[in-house]
Structure 1
């Protein structure tokens, strides 16, 4: 899957499901600070990612994610690993 498509899907569900202002989403912005999600929100996010992309992110994955770009890259990597 192209990274641009991943970004579009992720940004759309962040806006629609987590009520994030689209203007706050920037590649270099801090994901956790911008989203302000609690642990239950992260569980919801894992479910949404799995339903949209067919991959699952774990706690270790989220520990490595700092920016939105890291988030997109992690999803892209998981998709690549799954299809390899």
Structure 2
């Protein structure tokens, strides 16, 4: 899957699941702050990734995730590993 497809798919479910506006999502925006994530939201995010991409994420995967770009790169790397 191409990176642009990954980004589009992620953005689509983030907009639906976290009720965020498309205009708030940008590569350099802070993921946690933009989506207003708490610990339960991370669980929802992991479930959404698993159902949309068929890959598993664990807590350690999020240690260095700050921006949307970091998150896109994580998913891209896991999908194409």
- TM-score category by the smaller chain? over 0.9
1:56 CA displacement: 1.2
1:38 CA displacement: 1.2
Give the whole-Å Cα distance in 2 for the aligned partners of 1:37 and 1:60: 16
Alignment match, 2:35: 35
Structure with greater proportional helix content? 1
Q: TM-score, normalised by structure 1?
A: 0.92
Give the whole-Å Cα distance in 1 for the aligned partners of 2:61 and 2:39: 14
Q: TM-score, normalised by structure 2?
A: 0.95
Q: RMSD across aligned C-alpha pairs, in angstroms?
A: 0.7
Query: How many residue pairs are counted as aligned between the two chains?
Result: 81
Runs of 4+ residues deviating >3 angstroms: none
